[in-house]
Amino acid sequence: MLNISTNKKVPLEAIEQFNTVKNLASRPHYRILNRIIAGLSLIALLVLFLPWTQNISGTGAVTTLKPDQRPQTIHTAIAGRIEKWYVQEGDFVEKGDTILFISEVKEDYFDPNLVANTREQADAKINALESYDGKVRALESQMAALANEKDLKLQQAKNKIRQSVLKVKSDSIDLEAVKTELKIATTQFDRSVQLNKEGLKPLTDVEEKRLKLQEAQAKIITQENKLLTARNELINAKVEVNRISAEYSEKISKSSSDKFTALSSQYDTQAQVNKLENQYVNYSIRNGMYYIKAPQRGYVNRALQSGLGETVKEGTLIVSIMPADYQIAVETFVNPIDLPLLKKGDEVRVWFDGWPTIVFSGWPGMSYGTFGGRIVAIENFISPNGKYRVLIAPDQVEAPWPKQLSIGAGAQTIALLDTVPIWFEIWRTLNGFPPNYYQPVEGSIKKQ
C-alpha cells in the first residue's frame, strides 16, 4: 500500500501511555464477553453433533379414506322441470329419502298411461307370438301327415309296379304258349294238307286244321296285345311313383315354406316383444327417476339448483351431500425429489390447521399437538400442482385423531426418515442433496 498520506501513523505503544486507555483495557466486562463467546462457540460445536431426524414435509387437507365416503354431487339422470323440493341445506337424509321431484319435459313421455299402454302392446304381441307358435306346430303336423301319406302312396304304387311286373311275366309266358300252339297248329295244318294231297286225309280235316291255325294266329295277336298292355301298365305304375313323389314333395315344400314364413313372423314378433318389454322396463324406470333420492345417508351441503319450474338437462348437478359415516384421512403433496424415499406403511406426523401445535421438525419427540399416521397410498402420476399426492390414514397404535376435524381442513405433514447429526444435515442442505434413503427395520415403530 502506498504511503501517500501526510499523516503519520501513531504507534500503539504511544497510545498505551494515556490513563484513559489504561482504564479501558483494565475493565472486566471484556473478559466476561470473551468467556461468553467462547462458551457459545463450544455449545454451538456440541450442538452440531446432536441427532437430527431427517424428514419430508408436505401440505394437504383432510379427506376420507375411501372414495365412496367423500362429498358427492347428485345428478339428474333425465331432463325435467323442478316441481318440488323435499329438503333444505343442512338437513340429514337417509339412503333412499326423496330430495327433489321433477316433471317430464319431453313430448315422447307426456302420456300418463304410457307404461300401461306399453304393457298392453307387449301382451298383445305375446299373444300373437303364441299364435305363430301354434301355426308352426300345425304346419309341422301337416308336414308329418303328408310325409306319412307319401310313404303309403309310394308303397301302394310300388306294389302296383310289382303286380305289373308279374302280369308282364304272366303275359309273356302266355304269349310263348300261344306261339307254341301256333307252331303246332301250323305243323298240323301242313301235315293235313300233305296228307290230303296224298289222299290220306279228307278235305274236312284240312279245313278243321286251317280253322285251328287261324284261331292260333288270332290268339297270338290277342296275347301280344295283352302283353303290350301289361307293359304299358308297368310303365304307368313307374310314372305314378314319380308323380306321387313330385306331388307330395311339392305339398311338403309348400308346408315347409309356410312353416318358415310363420317362423320368420314368429321371430319378428319375438323381436317386437323384446323391444316392447325393453320399452316397458325403461318407461317404468324413467317414472322412478322423477323422484331424485339420496344414494346414502348424510347431510345436504348445498343445493346447486334452486327455484321451481326451472328446466334441467340430463346429468345436471342438483345437490351435494356429505356422507355421515366416513373414515378420516389426509391427502398431502410432496416434491418429486422426495417421492422415491416414501413407500406404503411409512410413519408420518400430522398436525391440523386450527389445532394447538408446537412442531420441531428435526426433534419430533419434542413436538406437541402432532398425530401419528401411516401412508396407505402413493399416487403414481404427478398432480396439476407439480407434486405427487400421498394418502395418509391414522396410525392405529397411537392416539386417535380429533373428532372435531372437518373434511377439507388444512393439514401439514412430515415423514420421518433417518437420524443424522446436525452438522451433516446442514452440509446436506447447503449442497442441495436429498435426505438419506432410509429403510426402517421391519416391525419397528418410532414413539413420539
Q: What are the residues whose beta carbons fall under 8 Å from the beta carbon of 265, sequence distance 6 or more?
A: 132
Contact 419, 438 (CB under 8 A): no
pTM above 0.85, yes or no: no
Tens-digit pLDDT profile for residues 9-67? 555 556 666 666 666 656 666 677 777 888 888 888 887 777 766 677 888 899 888 88
CA 346 to chain centroid, in Å, comes to 37
The tens digit of pLDDT for each residue in 79-138 reads 889 888 998 888 899 988 999 999 888 888 888 888 888 889 888 888 888 888 888 888
What pLDDT score does 390 carry? 92
pLDDT score, position 445: 39
Query: Which 3 state secondary structure label does DSSP give 240?
Result: helix
Strands 51-64 and 72-75: unpaired
Asked if 319 contacts 102 with a C-beta cutoff of 8 angstroms, the reply is no
* Sequence-distant (≥ 6) Cβ neighbours of residue 273 within 8 angstroms: 122, 125, 126, 129
123: nearest Cα among 269, 285, 284: 269
- pLDDT of 276 over the 60 cut: yes
Q: Which residue in the block uniquely carries the three cell numbers 307252331?
A: 183
Read off the pLDDT of residues 398-446 as tens digits, 9 standing for 90 and up. 888 888 888 888 888 887 766 677 777 777 777 766 676 555 555 443 4
* Mean pLDDT, range 174-190, rounded to an integer: 76
Give, for 305, the enclosing helix (H) or strand (E). Answer: none
pLDDT in tens, 331-386: 999 888 888 878 888 888 888 887 777 665 656 666 666 888 899 999 888 888 88
312 grid coordinates:
334441467
Q: To the nearest whole percent, how much of the chain has pLDDT over 90?
A: 4
DSSP three-state, residue 75: strand
Which amino acid, one-letter code, is at 159? N
Determine contact, residues 330/390, Cβ cutoff 8 Å.
no
Single-letter amino acid code for the residue at 236? N
What stretch of H or E contains 228?
Answer: helix 203-288
